[in-house]
């Protein structure tokens, strides 16, 4: 995958397949510690210990349509290639948490990519799921939560085209305020 936003999309889609009702995505850029942290957590089915030990094997997947599962192994490799680490935790019935840490100054750190497009794609495709995104950079924080946004909409479907455009603009403005161009 070319950028981190595509990794986020892939892992979040895994959460959807695991019947998650809530997906939390957190990005934190810490220049002083030279670290970028990406966390994605869900309240889906989770994995048992046996499957968890094999989850980073690209030839292990729960998907019926294909025989390989590359999302987790590719994210783990991207973190390691950029001088970072990767941790995967999961419990049956409790959900899964993925944490990838990257060295911000590393030459092999993938670009962030189009976070606004990733979030709007997730929301448009899965309007019933509560998605919360939090991004910290330069001492500032931007947060977007579909649950709060739905309340403001007063019954208008969150995945209607004008609302998706509004969400995209909101995310782009939030990232701009962090000094991140989407």
Describe the crossing of helices 115-125 and 4-17 by its angle, rounded to 10 degrees.
20
Answer yes or no: is 87 within a domain.
Answer: yes
Describe the crossing of helices 4-17 and 71-81 by its angle, rounded to 10 degrees.
150
Q: Among 6, 49, 10, 13, which residue's Cα sits nearest to residue 125?
A: 13
The pLDDT of residue 68: 36
Answer yes or no: is 182 within a domain.
Answer: no
Any residues with CB less than 8 A from the CB of 111 and at least 6 apart, and which?
Answer: 2, 3, 4
pLDDT at 119 over 50: yes
The pLDDT of residue 155: 87
Taking the C-alpha atoms of residue 20 and residue 40, their distance in angstroms, rounded to an integer, is: 12
CATH number at residue 60: 3.30.565.10
When divided into structural domains, the chain yields a total of 1
Determine whether 71 is exposed, middle or buried from the number of CB atoms within 10 Å of its CB (0-12, 13-18, 19+).
Answer: buried
Answer yes or no: is 43 within a domain.
Answer: yes
- Summarised one tens digit per residue, pLDDT across range 124-170 is 999 999 999 999 998 999 999 999 989 998 889 999 999 999 999 99
Q: Kindly report the pTM of this predicted structure.
A: 0.90
Average pLDDT, the chain: 90
Answer yes or no: is 163 within a domain.
Answer: yes
Answer yes or no: is 155 within a domain.
Answer: yes
87: containing domain = 4-177
Answer yes or no: is 95 within a domain.
Answer: yes
Answer yes or no: is 132 within a domain.
Answer: yes
Cβ count near 173 (within 10 Å): 12
The pLDDT of residue 23: 98
Answer yes or no: is 97 within a domain.
Answer: yes
What are the start-end ranges of the H helices in 3-114?
A: 4-17, 49-54, 71-81
123 or 65, greater pLDDT: 123
Query: Nearest-5° angle of CA 24, CA 71, CA 44?
Result: 40
- Summarised one tens digit per residue, pLDDT across range 9-33 is 999 999 999 999 999 999 999 999 9
Taking the C-alpha atoms of residue 38 and residue 78, their distance in angstroms, rounded to an integer, is: 12
pLDDT at 76 over 50: yes
Do 86 and 80 touch, CB atoms closer than 8 A?
Answer: yes
């Amino acid at each position: 995958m070319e950028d981190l936003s595509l990794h986020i999309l892939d892992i979040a889609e895994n959460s959807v397949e695991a019947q998650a009702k809530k997906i939390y995505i957190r990005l934190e850029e810490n220049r002083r510690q030279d670290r970028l942290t990406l966390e994605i957590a869900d309240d889906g089915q989770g994995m048992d210990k046996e499957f968890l030990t094999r989850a980073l094997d690209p030839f292990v997947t729960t998907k019926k349509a294909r025989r390989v599962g590359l999302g987790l192994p590719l994210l783990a490799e991207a973190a390691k290639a950029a001088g970072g680490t990767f941790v995967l935790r999961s419990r049956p019935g409790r959900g899964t948490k993925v944490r990838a840490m990257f060295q911000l100054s590393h030459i092999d750190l993938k670009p962030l990519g189009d976070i606004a497009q990733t979030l709007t794609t997730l929301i448009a495709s899965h309007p019933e799921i509560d998605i919360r995104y939090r991004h910290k950079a330069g001492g500032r924080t931007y947060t977007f939560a579909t649950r709060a946004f739905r309340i403001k909409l007063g019954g208008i479907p969150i995945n209607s085209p004008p609302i998706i455009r509004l969400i995209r603009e909101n995310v782009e403005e939030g990232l701009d305020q962090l000094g991140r161009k989407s």
